[in-house]
Amino acid sequence: MNQHPRLRTLTPTSIFHMPVPEVVEIAPHGDVLLLCGEQVEEAKITCFRVSSHIMSYGSPVFKTLLGLTFREGTALASSSTVEIPLPEDHPALMVVLCNIFHMRNDNVLKLDAISLKGLAQLCDKYDCALVASLAVERYILAALPSAKVDTLADYLDVAVTLHCMDAVNRVAVALVHQATNPIADFIAGPISATLSLTCAKIDKQIRGARRRISVHIETLVEEQLKCRAGFHGCETGCNVGKSRVFGLLTQLVSIKLWGTKSTSMTLEAMLQSMENIKLHDPDDLKACSMRAGYCAMYTAPLKLEAYNGAICTLASHLRRTIEAKRFSELGGVP
């Protein structure tokens, strides 16, 4: 996706600590003055001059407020301007929202996750998610490559609130690859029913992928254990199977695909280990003195090298499955 130059050069900014001018001319010839910040701690009351037409087009709440059924709308009809007090709204958030409404995107900084969450809540309050969603989605997608799990969880919250479908799907993929704990654990504050369902689906996808890997690895181990029982050996005391099982487990543990350490690995790390896997028979593997033609040592399907291709293929399949996931509860393709 093409990015505006500001998105490429600016680092994410927390707007709550940035100074806001006491008077902000969003629309120099606007007919509405929004007075924000009276009840916001450590915020100065700030006046925003905006256009009633633009605010009404973008927000059903402002459309109703500026209609003839409300005092503000009646006052506007009989005068050139009207003041609307919004004491609970943070000026630093309102200036972003008003700039987006008035297509002044060059005046909107690249926001950090906390600022985006505040903006999403403001959009929810004024029922204007559709107006802000495209701009917010661009910020989220631009920040994805460097985002950690806790930040990704905040982005997911914002994307679900503003119904940013592409961002929801892309953030979900990143969380599947990086998260090792339930997604909801990383989200501060109340969680909506839709966000809760989305988190549950991401968690389910992580568990499913990990189980696929675990089952595949266990199948390989069980196959080698059968050889130890004499199924592929000319005598039940054959040590080839035992050596291969030990070699297989040792190599899997070293790349954290087996044992307790695998539970602390991200799915992305596990997939990379699978894609780069190079299992091989133990260097000290030796045939017994009988050297039978059907010796387990020479049974090709049981050589550890034979497992590399299937493990690599499974990793590719899991990546495609993760990338293809969509969230029907947000209007996507199930």
Taken in order 14, 120, 42, 6, is the CA torsion positive or negative? positive
pLDDT at 4: 38
C-alpha–C-alpha distance, residues 35 and 154, integer Å: 29
Which of 166, 137, 177, 138 is CA-nearest to residue 327?
Answer: 166
Q: CB under 8 Å to 83, separation ≥6 — which residues?
A: 33, 35
What are 262's two structure tokens?
């695998």
Could you report the per-residue pLDDT of 232-257, keeping only the tens digit for each? 555 556 667 677 888 888 999 999 89
C-alpha–C-alpha distance, residues 175 and 30, integer Å: 43
C-alpha–C-alpha distance, residues 324 and 235, integer Å: 49
Q: How far is CA 272 from CA 76, 174, 188, 304, 314, in A?
A: 62, 14, 31, 19, 11
Q: What is the 8-class DSSP label of residue 41? A: T
Regions in the chain scoring below 50 on pLDDT: 1-11, 229-230, 332-334
Do the Cβ atoms of 45 and 22 come closer than 8 Å?
A: yes
- DSSP states of 84-132 as a string? EEETTS-HHHHHHHHHHHTT-GGG---B-HHHHHHHHHHHHHTT-HHHH
Q: What is the 8-class DSSP label of residue 183? A: G
Q: What is the 8-class DSSP label of residue 48? A: E
pLDDT at 235: 58
CA–CA–CA angle 256, 260, 266 (5° rounding): 55
What are 277's two structure tokens?
């896997």
Could you report the per-residue pLDDT of 13-62, keeping only the tens digit for each? 555 555 555 788 999 999 999 999 887 776 778 899 999 999 999 999 99
What does the longest C-alpha to C-alpha distance in the chain come to? 107
Count of C-beta atoms within a 10 Å radius of residue 175: 24
For 24, list phi and psi in degrees, rounded to 5.
Answer: -120, 120
Domains of the chain and CATH, by start: 5-111+120-128 (3.30.710.10), 210-324 (no CATH)
Contacts by residues 166-169 (CB-CB < 8 Å, ≥ 24 positions apart)? 166/137, 166/141, 167/136, 167/137, 167/140, 167/141, 168/198, 168/327, 168/330, 168/332, 169/325, 169/326, 169/327, 169/332
Do the Cβ atoms of 166 and 141 come closer than 8 Å?
A: yes
Q: How far is CA 103 from CA 141, 274, 298, in A?
A: 20, 47, 71
C-alpha–C-alpha distance, residues 282 and 200, integer Å: 42
